[in-house]
């Protein structure tokens, strides 16, 4: 029986630079010859959104840390977990009050692009996770490698 494989895990200081660190890390562990490029783009975008939320809305942004873990499942699924140090709210997609507001769309993107997503709270913080289907490697990607 095939099992999920941990691609990596990274602790990031909860600063404004955390989303960029997460994106850079994903570029080093996600293989474009194994996963569809659009799936890698989705994983990168959604991870960046969740890390941003962790820094802005939880204790991770007050001198704490955010942990990003990435797993690959047989058949091509990629699971990303973003663990923070907890905050007063739970992750919930919302409709921005102003359609031109630049904030408040992150979880709506997760909801729209992920196959599934959710969160779990415990005594330490909240882990928000999502799964993306990365099984469709395009023929041109295989030919280029």
C-alpha pair distances (Å), 103 with each of 52, 96, 118: 11, 7, 20
Which SS3 state, helix, strand or coil, does residue 48 take? helix
Q: With contact defined as beta carbons under 8 Å apart, do 132 and 111 qualify? A: no
Q: Give residue 76's pLDDT.
A: 82
Q: Tell me if the pTM is above 0.75.
A: yes
Q: Give residue 123's pLDDT.
A: 86
Contacts of 50 (CB under 8 A, 6+ apart): 80, 82, 106, 110, 128, 130
Give tens-digit pLDDT for 60-93. Answer: 999 999 999 999 998 889 999 999 999 887 776 6
Round to whole Å and give the CA distance between 3 and 1: 7
β-pairing, 126-133 vs 65-72, is unpaired
**Of residues 140 and 136, more confidently modeled:** 136
Q: Is the predicted pLDDT of residue 30 greater than 70, yes or no?
A: yes
Q: With contact defined as beta carbons under 8 Å apart, do 61 and 54 qualify? A: yes
Round to whole Å and give the CA distance between 97 and 79: 31
State the DSSP H helix or E strand holding residue 51, giving kind and residue range, or none if neither: helix 37-57
Q: Is the predicted pLDDT of residue 5 greater than 90, yes or no?
A: yes
Q: Give residue 15's pLDDT.
A: 97
């Amino acid at each position: 029986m095939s099992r999920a494989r941990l691609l990596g895990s990274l602790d990031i200081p909860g600063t404004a630079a955390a989303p960029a660190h997460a994106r850079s890390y994903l570029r080093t562990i996600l293989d474009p010859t194994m996963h569809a490029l659009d799936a890698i783009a989705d994983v990168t975008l959604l991870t960046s959104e969740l890390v941003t939320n962790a820094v802005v809305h939880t204790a991770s942004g007050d001198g704490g840390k955010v942990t990003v873990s990435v797993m690959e499942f047989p058949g091509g699924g990629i699971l990303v977990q973003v663990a923070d140090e907890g905050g007063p709210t739970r992750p919930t997609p919302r409709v921005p009050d102003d359609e031109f507001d630049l904030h408040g769309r992150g979880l709506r993107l997760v909801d729209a692009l992920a196959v599934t997503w959710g969160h779990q709270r415990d005594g330490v913080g909240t882990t928000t996770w999502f799964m993306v289907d990365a099984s469709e490697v395009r023929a041109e990607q295989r030919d280029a490698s």
